[in-house]
Amino acid sequence: MTSPTTKLVQSGIAWDPAYGAIVPPLYMSSTYVWPSVDEKGPYDYGRSNNPNRDLLSRALTELDGGAGAVVTSSGMAAIDLVLNLLSAGAHVVAPHDCYGGTHRLLTARHDQGQIRVDFIDQGDLDAVRATVSRETAMVIIETPSNPLMRLSDVAAICDIARAADALSVVDNTFLSPLRQQPLTLGADMALQSTTKYLNGHSDVVGGVVVANTEELAEKLAWWANAAGLTGSPFDSYQTLRGLRTLALRINAAETNAKAIVAVLRDHDKVTDVYYPDAGLAVKQQSGPGAMLSFRVAGGAAAAASVMESIELFRLAASLGGVESLICQPATMTHRGMAPEARAAAGLDETLIRVSTGIEAKEDLIAALEAALASI
Ligand SMILES: *Cc1c(COP(=O)(O)O)cnc(C)c1O
């Protein structure tokens, strides 16, 4: 069987039916000529379908081992798309420490009465069993969590959902399909913010939902067209281009992350390091990935000193690009959370999150060591 690395490099290569271009051309057209009034061609209108979006969708379907996929205009549009499968008042179970934008959307839909959401600690399978019932329509899973890299058991939670006839969907953005395969673990759907690792160059906002059956993929495509959630041709073009180097990028970024974690775990100014490289991670991931977080000794002032003095790592939210980024979740990505909720989640100001890029590891380690020495 051809390796995923090879398939990714080859995705869309030499597809061009018109001129045999090695790289697929970009089709920006919003509409297409009909051969006759009662017969349309393979493409008719850009919201419904587009060659560049189809190429990306096929590559992502294969990468996740699914039956079909829908490419959306953002990761949040991917989450909104799966919510469209639900009837009014449906019961949804989600992790209490899910991505902030997901938490905001689910909470707003709950407050409107469109769905009924329970946010729970999915690291506790008894809590999952106690919350998921015959009334439950969907279980949303996200592992590792942001920013503390807490893990939840995808196979076990999907089993609980299936026994209750609920759909299971995994937000796999932090690892990418090259490090975790939600559909193989039993999920009905796997989604990604392609903004992160899949595009990988911090120049596209996009998303995808991959489904494990054609029936589900067709329902998703119907809703994406009806609600206008599909991604743009140019974003699909860029993301397919990014995808060709996904394996190289993830390998390089993960190697750097492992080296950084080894330094941080031994550092006397660092009190805790969070990196998913043991326990459940070994069971359900094929590697720890390139996201990590840590706490510094010396309180908020110490963390501020690291954030202000660090070179090379750019102070920014987001993740999964070739460039290394650093952020302080309490004041940046999780600022919108109520202070009590933030404290309960363990997100104090000493916590620092890193998205490791693919720069030379000795440069990254030197920059981190210098910043820690500034404390
Ligand atoms: C970024 C992110 C999203 C949202 O994706 P956008 O492309 O920003 O809309 C959803 N889930 C996770 C885990 C993310 O990191």
DSSP code per residue over 294-308: EEESSHHHHHHHHHH
Same domain, 221 and 261: no
What percent of the chain has pLDDT above 70? 100
pTM of the model: 0.97
**CA 332 to ligand 1 center in whole angstroms:** 15
Same domain, 235 and 359: no
Q: Please give the residue that has the higher pLDDT: either 216 or 333.
A: 216
| Contact 191 CB / ligand 1 (< 6 Å) | no
Which atom belonging to ligand 1 lies closest to the Cα atom of 77?
9
Give residue 343's pLDDT: 80
Same domain, 329 and 192: no
Give residue 339's pLDDT: 82
Domain housing 261: 247-372
- Of 220, 243, 266, which residue constitutes the final position of a domain? 243
Per the CB < 8 A criterion, the answer to whether 352 and 307 are in contact is yes
The predicted model gives 239-255 an average pLDDT of 98
3-state SS class at 119: strand
Cα(32)–Cα(21) distance, rounded to whole angstroms? 21
Closest residue by CA, ligand 1 atom 11 = 99
pLDDT score of 341 more than 80: no
Per the CB < 8 A criterion, the answer to whether 129 and 160 are in contact is yes
Sign of CA dihedral 83, 85, 87, 92: negative
Same domain, 214 and 333: no
Structural tokens at position 296: 């510094």
Widest CA span in the chain = 74
pLDDT score of 344 more than 80: no
Same domain, 262 and 229: no
Does 275 qualify as catalytic in the annotation? no
Cα(272)–Cα(264) distance, rounded to whole angstroms? 8
Per the CB < 8 A criterion, the answer to whether 61 and 177 are in contact is no
Same domain, 135 and 169: yes
7, 16, 43, 47: the catalytic one is 47
Cα(50)–Cα(29) distance, rounded to whole angstroms? 9
Q: Hey, which residues does 209 pair with through a beta bridge? A: 70, 191
27, 99, 237, 274: the catalytic one is 99
Structural tokens at position 309: 């003095």
| Contact 76 CB / ligand 1 (< 6 Å) | yes
φ and ψ at residue 338, rounded to 5 degrees: -60, 140
pLDDT score of 217 more than 80: yes
Write the pLDDT tens digit of every residue in 71-115.
999 999 999 999 999 999 999 999 998 998 999 999 999 999 999
Cα(220)–Cα(85) distance, rounded to whole angstroms? 8
Give residue 371's pLDDT: 98
Probe target for ligand 1 pocket from 196, 327, 333, with the most ligand atoms within 8 Å of CB: 196
Same domain, 154 and 289: no
| Contact 293 CB / ligand 1 (< 6 Å) | no
What is the four-CA torsion angle of 208, 52, 179, 181, rounded to 10 degrees?
60
pLDDT score of 336 more than 80: no
Same domain, 29 and 110: yes
- Of 243, 269, 298, which residue constitutes the final position of a domain? 243
Cα(210)–Cα(331) distance, rounded to whole angstroms? 33
The predicted model gives 1-29 an average pLDDT of 96
Does 47 qualify as catalytic in the annotation? yes
Cα(236)–Cα(366) distance, rounded to whole angstroms? 37
**57 CB burial (10 A radius; 0-12, 13-18, 19+):** buried
**CA 136 to ligand 1 center in whole angstroms:** 24
pLDDT class for 340, splitting at 50, 70, 90?
A: confident
The predicted model gives 16-28 an average pLDDT of 97
Question: Closest Cα to residue 232, out of 29, 42, 34, 18?
Answer: 29
The CATH number for 310's domain is 3.90.1150.10
pLDDT score of 302 more than 90: yes
Per the CB < 8 A criterion, the answer to whether 129 and 163 are in contact is no
The predicted model gives 240-249 an average pLDDT of 98
pLDDT score of 177 more than 80: yes
Give residue 333's pLDDT: 84
Per the CB < 8 A criterion, the answer to whether 78 and 207 are in contact is yes
The predicted model gives 244-260 an average pLDDT of 98
Question: Closest Cα to residue 350, out of 324, 329, 323?
Answer: 329
What percent of the chain has pLDDT above 90? 94
Same domain, 58 and 78: yes
Write the pLDDT tens digit of every residue in 55-75.
999 999 999 999 999 999 999
The CATH number for 194's domain is 3.40.640.10
Which atom belonging to ligand 1 lies closest to the Cα atom of 205?
7
List, in sequence order, every beta strand (DSSP E) within the chain.
68-72, 90-95, 115-120, 136-142, 167-171, 189-193, 207-211, 270-274, 291-296, 314-315, 325-327, 351-355
Instruction: Return all residues near 355 (Cβ < 8 A) that are at least 6 apart.
Output: 290, 291, 318, 319, 320, 321, 324, 325, 326
3-state SS class at 354: strand
Same domain, 171 and 265: no
Give residue 159's pLDDT: 98
Name the domain count of the chain.
2
Give residue 265's pLDDT: 98
| Contact 74 CB / ligand 1 (< 6 Å) | yes
